[in-house]
A and B are shown apart, each in its own frame.
Chain A
Amino acid sequence: MIEVRNLVKKYGEVTAVRGISFDAKPGQVTGFLGPNGAGKTTTMRMLTGFMPPTSGKATVAGYDVFEQSMEVRKRVGYLPESVPLYRDMTARNYLMYMGEIRGLKNVRAKADDVLERVGLTRRAQSRIRTLSKGMRQRVGLAQALLHDPQVLILDEPTIGLDPIQVLEIRDVVRQLGRDHTLLFSTHILSEAEQVCDNLVIINQGQIVAEGSPAQLRAELERGGRVLVRAEGPVEQMIAAVSAIPTVAHAEAAVEGVVVTPRDANVDPRPEIAQVVVQNGWRLVELRPLAVNLEEIFLELTRQVAPAAEEASERADADGGEGGDEAGEGAREDGAREDGAREDGAREDGAREDGAREREDEEAKS
């Protein structure tokens, strides 16, 4: 169990972590997701007792990270971001050394045991210097598992690995998550989505979203757009759908027509179905357009502009929406809560011409 409350860390002038609060529960993998410099490593260093918080409180396995640091350290396995190892030791000797410092008994047996768990038994006698990056990562992981800790804190365990090893490590993380409290950081959203039961998204030292991947998606999907695929003339279809009172906007996209409702809580799908059928077009598909978590992530973690600037940017973005030009700049400027939606719409818009041609062909045939 990890409980973080209003944790703050300042490095001199720089505030790396600005009062974050979250929980990581036992038997779950909690993903700590954020771009470079978000404050992930800083937070983890405070949780492992490497450095004290400037203010705020955190408990790990029931002990305060500052007041009862030694108790915390006994119960935490930590894999630092840089995976610092003694390169002139063999993997086994290194693990035995760490075990001795931790005051474990039977260090030899424990070292061999964790080496087996990370699949390095054959390289037990190799000097760490001669191991590949992925193998070193695993030695670091083995070190974190050595004392069978309740809590595991892994700082970007998959960085710099080849795709196969990434999958392997993710698998290991998922398994470990079943019987540990596991906090792991990454800046890869898809990884977090695959591995984590719970996601904490952090940007510039602040938490911007929290919840299970499904929850996050559901929350951000609400009031989302609807995709209509029907066999019929696109122009007319857009006109007909736009005329529905609950619809704010409709436009062509690759897959079909994307409809934005006027009110997020009023589902326009029944009316759309009716209109399509009334016009004699054959309805192929009518579904809510999944919000890409990637888009949400990009939106949430984009540079937070000062309030005044943000307002004017929002106005700009709104103005740009009518004309179909989707420049990179406009995309960046999307206001936060409806930005994801707009992004999608603009991307779709960019492909509009191609889509129209294809659909025209389809209509002719």
Chain B
Amino acid sequence: MILRQIWAVYKRELGLYFRSPIAYAVAFALLLLFGLIFSSNVSQLNNRAPADNLNFIPSLLTFLMFLVGPLMTMRLLAEENREGTIELLMTLPMSETAFIVGKFFAVWTYYSVVLGLTLVYYLVLTTIGVPDHGRALGVYLGAWLYGGTVLAVTMIWSAITEDQIVAAFLGAATVLVLYLADLAAQFVNNLSFTENPEFITGLANGIRELGLTAHYNSTMFVGVIRAEDIAYFIFMIIAALFITTRIVETRRWRA
């Protein structure tokens, strides 16, 4: 039953992405950007290893997710809040969880399609040389989980507000914070001249671990696939979906 409901929500939502001009515009702009970078890199191939070129694209995509992620998710719940369609949905025999999970998988699928399209460049590379397949696996798996996490986190804001622009702004800010956690950790670490150096390093490590980059840029991106990184992303997604569900619930109760 719950799977059928998730499937129904998922199908509708995904259909919307593939009928929405904005979704196409975002995908097109990204692919155009990557294409330009790719061709300029390939033209300088004579003095560079092919694998480096390949990895530039997913890494740029993960960086850009602080902008693209909120654009992908802002509509998801804010629109239902504004239109009042949520009132009817929440009087159907469906749990909030099914609704949120369905929506999330839809946007994650859309993201996966965009990410999948960048594999075109990878295929082109295989005709020129032999890229490092193992590393590529890490890069793509990481980019996929990284994207899912960003989408789940930005979706929280879409549940909170009825205003898509507000949702997008706050989402971008949140992702930037998670992205820059690494820098913050370094900054904290530099404070270790104080009397309690262990505490400071511990705190710095904690902040670092919470951030996105620590689990991608220095691990999967260089081809190191660690269970703890995968666990981090999955945990973040589940936590964010849980928070979103609670928000939808309490919004309705206050209504």
Contact surface of A with B, Cβ cutoff 8 Å: 11, 45, 48-52, 70, 73-74, 76, 78, 80, 82, 84-89, 97-98, 100-103, 143
Task: Give the chain B neighbours of A84 by CB distance below 8 A.
Answer: 83-88
Q: What are 22 A-B residue pairs whose CB atoms fall within 8 Å in the complex?
A: A45-B255, A49-B90, A49-B91, A50-B90, A50-B91, A50-B255, A73-B92, A80-B87, A80-B91, A84-B84, A84-B85, A86-B83, A86-B85, A89-B12, A97-B8, A100-B4, A101-B8, A101-B9, A102-B92, A103-B1, A103-B4, A143-B88
Task: Give the chain A neighbours of B253 by CB distance below 8 A.
Answer: 51-52
Proximity string of chain B (51-70) to chain A, C-beta cutoff 8 Å, 1 when within and 0 when not = 00000000000000000000
Q: Which label, helix, strand, loop or mixed, suits the secondary structure of the B interface? A: helix
Contact surface of B with A, Cβ cutoff 8 Å: 1, 4-5, 7-9, 12, 16, 19, 83-94, 252-255
**A76 and B91: CB pair below 8 A?**
yes
What separation, in Å, do the CA atoms of A8 and B91 have in the docked complex?
19
Q: How far is the CB of A35 from chain B (nearest CB, A)?
A: 21
**A98 and B92: CB pair below 8 A?**
yes
Known A-B contacts A84-B83, A85-B85, A103-B1; the reply to A48 vs B91 at CB < 8 A is yes
**A51 and B252: CB pair below 8 A?**
yes
A79 to B, closest residue via Cβ: B88
Known A-B contacts A52-B253, A88-B16; the reply to A101 vs B91 at CB < 8 A is no
Q: Which label, helix, strand, loop or mixed, suits the secondary structure of the A interface? A: loop
Task: Give the chain A neighbours of B91 by CB distance below 8 A.
Answer: 48-50, 73, 76, 78, 80
Task: Give the chain A neighbours of B92 by CB distance below 8 A.
Answer: 73, 98, 101-102
Task: Give the chain A neighbours of B84 by CB distance below 8 A.
Answer: 80, 82, 84
Q: Which of A11, A50, A78 contacts B252 (CB 8 A)?
A: A50
**A101 and B16: CB pair below 8 A?**
no
Task: Give the chain B neighbours of A80 by CB distance below 8 A.
Answer: 84, 87-88, 91
What separation, in Å, do the CA atoms of A134 and B165 have in the docked complex?
32
Q: How far is the CB of B103 from chain A (nearest CB, A)?
A: 13
What separation, in Å, do the CA atoms of A82 and B89 have in the docked complex?
13
A93 to B, closest residue via Cβ: B12
What separation, in Å, do the CA atoms of A70 and B19 have in the docked complex?
33
Q: Which of A45, A70, A88, A100 contacts B93 (CB 8 A)?
A: A70
Starting from the known contacts A45-B87, A50-B90, A86-B85, 19 additional A-B residue pairs (CB-CB under 8 Å) come to A48-B91, A49-B90, A50-B87, A50-B252, A51-B254, A51-B255, A52-B253, A73-B92, A74-B93, A78-B91, A80-B84, A80-B87, A80-B88, A86-B83, A88-B16, A88-B19, A100-B7, A101-B9, A101-B92
Known A-B contacts A101-B8, A103-B1; the reply to A78 vs B93 at CB < 8 A is no
Task: Give the chain B neighbours of A51 by CB distance below 8 A.
Answer: 252-255
